[in-house]
Structure 1
Amino acid sequence: MTALSEAPLPALDKQPIHPKYRPDIDGLRAIAVLSVVAFHAFPSLIQGGFVGVDVFFVISGFLISSIIFGSLEKNRFSFLDFYTRRVNRIFPALLLMLAATWGFGWFSLLADEYTQLGKHIAGGAAFVSNFVLLGEAGYFDNSAETKLLLHLWSLGIEEQFYLVWPLMVWAAWKIRVNALILIVLVGGISFALNILNVHSDSVGTFYSPQTRFWELLVGSLLAYVTLHKHQHFQIWREISGQTARNILSITGLTLLATAFALTTKSNQFPGWWAVLPTLGAALIISAGPSAWLNKNVLSSRLFVWFGLISFPLYLWHWPLLTFARIINSGTPSIEMRCSAIVIAIVLSWLTYRLIELPLRNISSKVRVVFFLAFMGAVGTIGYITFTSGGLTSRPTVQNSKAINEQFVATTGWKYAKNDTCLTRYNFEYAKTLPWWFCSTNRDQPPTTVIIGNSYANHLYPGIIHATPDATVLSMGTCDAGHIVNAEFPGNPCSLDSPKRQNEYIDNIIKSSGTVKTVIISGITLVDDESYAEKLSSRISYMDKLGIKVVIFVPHFTLGYNPRACFARPFKSPEKDCKFGLVVRERLLHIFNGLAAKITKHNPNVLFYDQNETFCSNSGCSMVIDGMPAYRDEYFHYSEYASDQVGKNFIKWAEKNGVKLD
C-alpha cells in the first residue's frame, strides 16, 4: 500500500473507499451522546458529561480521514462525492429539527426569544453557529440554558473541518507531502493555540475551529496509523495481540470515566483537560472491534441502537430541554426533564427510521439539490425572523404586547450607547473593551452624569424622560468604587481598566465645567472600609469641583427569572415578584454601614433609595401597574420601571435641592 506522498494508482473505480463498518464505534457514539444528554438534563449527575462532544470529534476525524486517505490512495477521491455524502448524512435530521424548533417557537416564544432563535437558525443553517455564539459571549449575553440551538456550535466546528481538511490533504497529496507531516503540523499548531489561549480567552478557545481542530486530527492520526500500520508502524504487529487490545480499550474507557468525573465547567476547557476524552476515545477505537470491551459491550444491541440514533438524539434533546426551561422561566422539574429526554429518544428513533433511512433510497443528486434548497429556505426564514424583531405580529406576542415589549434581551437595550455620545466622546481605549456604556440625550456639555456599571445605565432612560431640559450623560462600565481589580479574562473591569475609565470620565466632568450633579449607581453592597475609601476618593474629586454627588442605594434583585411572574404560552405565572419589607430592611442595614463610612469622609454626599418606587407599607413588588420592573434575567430595569424610578427621583431631587439641568 502506498503512502499519500507517493504516486496514485490507476483509476479502477470512481466510488470512494469507505472503512468497514464497526459496531463498536456506534457503541462509542452512544457513550458520547448519552453523556452529553445526561449532563444537559442532570448536570450534577455527570458534571463532565459535556466532553462527550470531544469524543464525537475524534470519531468524526477518524471516519472522515479514513475515507479521504483511502480514496486518494486508490485514486477514487472526488470532492463532489465527498460533500454530497456529507449533505445527505447531515441535512435531513438537521433540517427537521430546525423547522420544528422554529414552528414550536412561533406559538411559545416571546419577541426577544424568537428573535434570538431566528438568528441561531440562520447561523445553524450556514454552519457558523460557533461564530454566532462567540459573537454573543459577554456581559450582555443571556444564559446558555435559554439558547435553543446552543448545541449546534459543535456541528459548526465539524462542518468547518470538513470544508478545510479535505482540501489540505488533497493539496498535500498533489505535491507529495506525507499526510502524517500535515496531521502533526496542523494538529500541533491547533493544540498549541488551545493551550496558549485557554486562560486568556476561554470562550474564544472553546468555540473557535483553530483551537478545536486538533481533536478531530487525533482521529485523523489514528486513521493514518490504521491505514499504514503494516508499512510504517511495525510495532503495531507486536502490540496487536488480544491482551494488548484489551488494555488499550480499558485504558481508553478509564480516561473517559475520569474525564466525566473530574472535568467541570469551572475548568479551563478545552486546554489540557480535553486530552482525557480525546485520548480515551482514540485508544478505544485503536483497540479494534475484537477487543473484549468493544466486542461485548460497545457492540451490544443497546449500545449500537443508541449509536445509530446518536446524531438525531444530539439534535433533538437540547431544544426540548431548553423549551422546558424557557416556558418554566427556570430549571424544570425532574419529571419534566425526564419526559423531555424520553420524547427526544422517540423523536430520534422516528427521525432515523422515517427520514434518514428512506431518503437513502432516493437519487443522491436529487437529494442534494432538495436539501440545499430547503436549507437555504430555512436559513432565510431564520434571518427574517431575526431582522423583524421576532415577528411581533404573532398572536403570542400581541396577546400581551405591552408586557412583552418590556422584556428586552440585554443585547437589544437601546440605551446602552448612541452615536451622539460615541462621536462626542471618542474614547479610544473603549474600542478594546467588550462593552462600553455611552449615551447622551443631546450633543452638548453634560449637566448631569451617571457613572457606574449596567445598574447605573439602566437609570438613564427614566432620568432623561423626567428631565427633558437636562443634558444627561451615562458613561462607564465598572463599579465606581473599583480602581484596580483582579484579572478576569474578557472582563472590561480587569486589572487597571477601571482606573483608566475613571480618569477619562473624570476629565470629561472637569473639562466641561457644566456638570451640576453626578449620580453613582450599581455600587457593591458591602460594608467594607477599603471599598468605602475608594468610593470616597472618587466623590471627593467631584466635591472639590463643586458638584453634587448622589449615590443610589443598590436596587432589589430576585432569586428567580422575573418572567416567571407573568403568564406566557403554555404556562401560568409561577411567582408574583413580591416580598416582605424585611428584605428591604436587610438591604438597608448593610448599606447604612457603608453609607456611614462614606459620609465620614464626604459629608455633602446624598443618598437616594430607588427601592421606594417598589415598596409600600405592606411590602414590595417588582411588578408596577401590571408591568415588569426588570427587562432580563440579570435584573436590569425595564424601560417602564426606569421611568417610574426617574419620576420619583426628580421629585426627591427638587425637595433636596439637587439640580440636574
Structure 2
Amino acid sequence: MTTLQPHLSHPKYRPDIDGLRAIAVLSVVAFHAFPSGLKGGFIGVDIFFVISGYLISTIIFQNLEKGTFSFTEFYIRRIKRIFPALILVLTASYAFGWFALFADEYKQLGKHIAAGAGFVSNIVLWNESGYFDSATDTKPLLHLWSLGVEEQFYLIWPLVLWFAWGRNFNLLTVTLVVAAASFYLNIKGILTDSVGTFYSPQTRFWELQCGSLLAWMTLYKKGAFAGFQNRLDGWLAAVVYRDSRHQADGKTLANILSFTGFSLLMYGFYIINKDVEFPGKWAILPMLGAVLIIAAGPLAWVNRIVLSNRLVVWFGLISFPLYLWHWPLLSFARIVETDVPSATIRLIAVALTIVLAWLTYRLVETPIRLGKHSGIKTLVLLVLMLLVGNVGYVSYLKNGLEFRQADAPAKTKMFADVKGTVLYNTPDDWVDERCHSALGASYDYLICRFTTATPGTLVVGDSHAAQFVYDSVAKNSNDLALVAVNGCLPFTDLVTINPTEEFEEKSSRCGVVMPIVLKMLRDFPSIQRVVFATRGAMYIEGSGYGDSEKKNNYRIIKDPDDRLAENYNQFVAGYVASINEILKFGKAVVFIEDVPEIGISAKNCLEDRPFRISDNDRPGCNVSRKAFDERNANYRKAVETISAATHHRIRIFPAYEYLCNSSSCNGLKDGASYFYDDDHLSMRGSHFIFGKFADWLRQATPKT
C-alpha cells in the first residue's frame, strides 16, 4: 500500500456510461412515481451495480498493477463523491419530518437516518419488511438500501483485491470465485428468504462482480481475442450487410453488442415486475444488458448516438443526487396526503427532484469534489456525517420527540394508546414469569401471559388473539391466560406462510401453539373455556385488506412442496382438528368471528397533518357493510362449516357486530379510534370488544 503520491489513475471518461446511468436513474424514478407505467423500472438499481463494479474495479486493477494504489486516496475520493449530497438529503429529510411526521413516524425516520449515515440501510430494512410491501411507501429513506450495498462493496472489495495481489493470487480467479459464490447464494436464497436475498450484500455482490469481470477483461485481455473478434465481426458484417465494403473493423460486433444489451434492458423493464422472484435469475437481464452496453465501447451506434446525447449525459451527471432526492419527495407526498398522491403531485415531485439534483450537483457536489483543501473537506464531511447519524439515532431513542408541535402527546394518545401493551412490547416482554414457570422452556415469537394464577379462560391464536385481550392483560383482569404467535393459526400439522418466510422456521414457530395449549389444559384445571381468535379473512383469502397492506399471499400448507393454496379447506380442517383436541378435555370452546379490517392506518382518520398538499378530505375509518360482507363471506361460511363439523359444540361470538351496523363498519366511536392500525384494535377497542364479550358470556346459556 502506497501513500497519496503518485495519485490514483482513473479510466478515461466515457459519456455513454453517464448515459447508461441516466437510463438507470430515470427508470427507477419512473417506477417509484408511476409504478403501473414502468413495472420493471426498479432494475435500474442493478444497472448501477454493474457500472459501479466496472469503474471501481478498473481503478483498483490499474493502480495495483502500477503500484499506485492507496486506500487513503481511494476512500477520500469515495467520501467526497458520496457524502455531500447524502448529508444534504438526510438533513433535509430530518428537517421536513420535524414538521410533518407523527412521533412513531419520526422515530422510524431517525432510525433510517442513522442507518443511512452508517451505510447499513439494507441491513436495517432487511429486518423490517420487503421492498415491495406497501408500508415501504411511507419510508422516505427506503432507497438508501442500494447505497448500503455499494458502500459495503467499496469497503470489502478493495481489501480483498489488495490482499490477493500482495500474495500473488490471480485476480481473475478471485473475482470469479466471489461472483460465483454470490450468485449461488442469490439463486438459493430467493427460494427461502426473498427479502433477505433482495437486501443482503452477499446475494447482490455478484452484480457488481460482473462489472469487475468486465473491467479485468477490458484491461488485460482486450487483445487476446482480437483474432476471434475480427473473424466474428467479419462474419456478422457479411450477414448484416449486402456488399463486402464493410471491413472487419469491430464496428458491427460493437453495434450488435450494444443493441442486444439495450434490448435486454428494455425487455427487463417490460417483463420484470414486483411479483417475480427478484433478484434471482431475473437479475441476469439488467446485469447482462449493462455489461454488453459497456463492453461495446463508446463508438457503438447506441452508445454514441443515444447514450452520449447531451441531454441524456446531463441526466447521467446528476444521477446520484437525482436518485437521492426523488424517493424522499415522493414518500413525503404520500405521507402528508395519507394516500397515493395524485398524478399531478407526483409529476411536480419529479420536476422538483430534477431541479434539486441539478442544484446539488452544481452548488454542493462539484465544489467539494474539485479544488483545494481535500483533506480538510474530507474531515468536515466525516464529522458532519457522524453528527447527522447521531441526531437520527437520538431521535429514534427518544421515541420520535413527542414534544414537537407536529405530534403533541394529546394527538399521539388518540391512536397510539397500545404502547406498553403485550402486543407492542419487545419480544422479551411477551412471556411473563408464570408462563416461564409453566412452560419450562423458551420459545421464539411466543406470546404467553397470565392475568391470574388460576385462569378460567385461555385465549389462543395470533396477534388478533393478543389484541382481543391486551386491555385485560395490561390491567391483570378477567382471569385470563393468552397463548399466541403472530401470523400463525393454532393448528397441529398445518403452517401458515407467505413467500418471505422459510418453511422450517415458520413451522417450528407456529407448531408450538397447540402443544402448549394442551399442556396448559392439563396443568391448569381452572381453565374451563378456550377462546380461539385469529384474523380469519386474511388467511382464507390469502391477503391483507385495503390500501395499507400489500397482498400477503398467505398459504396454509403441510410441507414446503405443497404449492396449492387451498386455504379454505385447510382452514376448516385445521380448526376442526384443534377444536376436537380441546373438546376431549371437556372444555367449552368459543370461536371469535373477527372484528372488521378498516383497510387504512387509523392515525390518518383522526388527526390532520400540520399541513397538506391538497384539500382532500381525510379518510374515514370505516368500510361499507357491503364491502365487509364480501370480504368476509368465505370466512363466515368457513366458521359455519367448522361449527357443523364439531357437531355445534362451539359457541360463536360475532365481534364484528359491535362495530358494524346495516350500512357500515366503523373504527371510530365517540370521537376516538377503536383501532391502532388498519386491523388491530387499540386499547379502547380491546376494552370495548372484550366488555361486549364478557356481557355475551354472562347472557349465554352454556352448551353441554
Q: Taking structure 2 as the reference length, what is the TM-score of the superposition?
A: 0.85
Question: Counterpart in 1 of 2:387?
Answer: 377
Residues 13-71 of structure 1 deviation map (CA, whole Å, 9 limit, x = unaligned): 51111001111000000000001111111111111111100000000011111111111
Distance 2:632 2:312 in 1: 58
Specify which of 396, 399, 405 is matched with residue 386 of structure 1.
Answer: 396
Deviation at 1:265, TM superposition (A): 1.4
Give the AA of the match of 2:449.
Answer: T
Matching of residues 375-414 of structure 1 within 5 Å: 375-398=385-408, 400-406=411-417, 413-414=424-425
Superposed displacement of residue 626, structure 1: 1.8
Query: Structure 2 matches for 1:108-257, cutoff 5 A?
Result: 108-137=100-129, 143-230=135-222, 232-235=224-227, 238=230, 241-257=250-266
Q: Deviations over 1:405-431 (max 9, x none)?
A: 348799981287524166346586843
Kindly indicate whether the alpha-carbon contact (under 8 Å) linking 2:110 and 2:396 is maintained by their aligned counterparts in 1.
Answer: yes
**Superposition pairs for residues 320-359 of structure 1, below 5 Å?**
320-359=329-368
Pick which of 301-310 and 12-21 moved more: 12-21
Shift of 1:143: 1.6
What SS is found at the alignment partner of 2:107? helix
Question: How far apart, CA to CA, are the structure 2 residues paired with 1:547 and 1:185?
Answer: 61
Measure the CA separation in 1 of the matches of 2:221 and 2:422.
53
Provide the secondary structure at the position in 2 that maps to 1:199: helix
Secondary structure class of the residue paired with 1:198: helix
How much has 1:542 moved relative to structure 2?
1.8
Match of 2:611 among 570, 589, 592: 570
Distance 2:165 2:208 in 1: 19
Secondary structure of the residue that 1:400 maps to in structure 2? helix
Spell out the pairing of 1:396-475 with structure 2 (5 A cutoff): 396-398=406-408, 400-406=411-417, 413-414=424-425, 417-420=429-432, 423-424=436-437, 430-431=443-444, 436-442=445-451, 444=453, 446-464=455-473, 468-475=477-484
Select between 611-620 and 144-153 the one with higher mean Cα deviation.
611-620
Instruction: State the secondary structure of the residue aligned to 1:338.
Output: helix
Determine if contact 1:120/1:129 at 8 Å carries over to the other structure.
yes
Name 1:3's counterpart in structure 2.
Answer: none
Deviates more, 1:194-203 or 1:94-103: 194-203
Deviation at 1:328, TM superposition (A): 2.0
d(CA) in 2 for partners of 1:213 and 1:544? 55
Q: Deviations over 1:219-251 (max 9, x none)?
A: 111111111134644457635711111111001
Equivalent residue in structure 2 for 1:541, among 568, 581, 585? 581
Contact 1:19 1:63 in 2 (8 A): yes
Q: Which residue does 2:98 correspond to in 1?
A: 106
Kindly report the root-mean-square deviation, in angstroms, between the aligned alpha carbons of the 2 structures. Answer: 3.0
Q: CA deviation at 1:273?
A: 0.7
Shift of 1:629: 2.4
Partner of 1:624: 669
Shift of 1:482: 7.5
How far did residue 332 of structure 1 move? 1.3
How far the C-alpha of 1:162 sits from its partner, in A, is 0.4
How many corresponding residue pairs? 645
Q: What do the CA deviations read for 1:462-516 (whole angstroms, capped 9, x no partner)?
A: 3335771514223234223684247645537756864553233322333332212
Residues 587 and 124 of structure 1, relative CA distance in 2, 3 Å threshold: closer
Residue pair 2:421, 2:474 contacting (<8 A) in 1 also: no
Cα separation, 1, equivalents of 2:438 and 2:294:
59
1:582-634 deviations in Å (ceiling 9; x for gaps)? 5566678656544433333243311112123324577542112222222224x
Shift of 1:552: 1.0
Distance of 1:412 and 1:355 partners within structure 2: 46
**CA-CA distance at 1:185 after TM superposition:** 1.0
Q: What is the rounded CA distance, in whole Å, between the counterparts of 2:76 and 2:426 in structure 1? A: 47
Q: Quick check: 1:565–1:573 contact (8 Å CA) kept in 2?
A: no
Contact 2:449 2:482 survives alignment (8 Å) = yes
The amino acid of 1:385's aligned partner reads S
Cα gap change, 1:547 to 1:466, in 2 (>3 Å): farther
Higher mean C-alpha displacement, 542-551 vs 108-117: 542-551
Q: CA deviation at 1:300?
A: 0.7
Task: Decide whether the 8 Å contact of 2:415 with 2:602 is kept in 1.
Answer: no
Aligned AA for 1:491? E
Partner residue, 2:38: 46
Residue 425 to residue 236, structure 1, CA distance change in 2 (3 Å)? farther
Query: Cα–Cα, structure 1 residues 185 and 491, in superposed 2: closer, same or farther, change >3 Å?
Result: closer
Deviations 1:442-473 (A, max 9, x none): 57364322211222221121333577151422
Structure 2 residue matching 1:183: 3-state secondary structure: helix
* Contiguous gaps of at least 5 residues in structure 2: 234-248, 541-566
Using the TM superposition, give the Cα deviation of residue 121 of structure 1 relative to its aligned residue in structure 2, in angstroms: 0.6
Alignment partner, residue 551 of structure 1: 591
TM-aligned CA distance change 1:389 to 1:314, over 3 Å: same
Residue aligning to 1:653: 697
Measure, in 2, the Cα distance between the counterparts of 1:402 and 1:474. Answer: 27
> 1:532 is matched by which residue type in structure 2?
V
3-state SS of paired residue (1:459): helix
**1:179-238, Cα deviation, whole Å (9 max, x unpaired):** 111111111111111112111111111111111111101111111111113464445763
Find out whether 1:640 has 2:674 as its counterpart: no
Is contact 1:111-1:389 (8 Å) kept? yes
The alignment partner of 1:353 has SS state of helix
Deviation (angstroms), 1:522: 1.5
* Deviates further, 395-404 or 212-221: 395-404
Which range moved further: 76-85 or 534-543?
A: 534-543
- The secondary structure found in structure 1 opposite 2:470 is helix
The amino acid that maps onto 1:575 is P
Greater shift after overlay, 647-656 or 290-299?
A: 647-656
Q: 1:585 to 1:310 in 2, by over 3 A?
A: closer
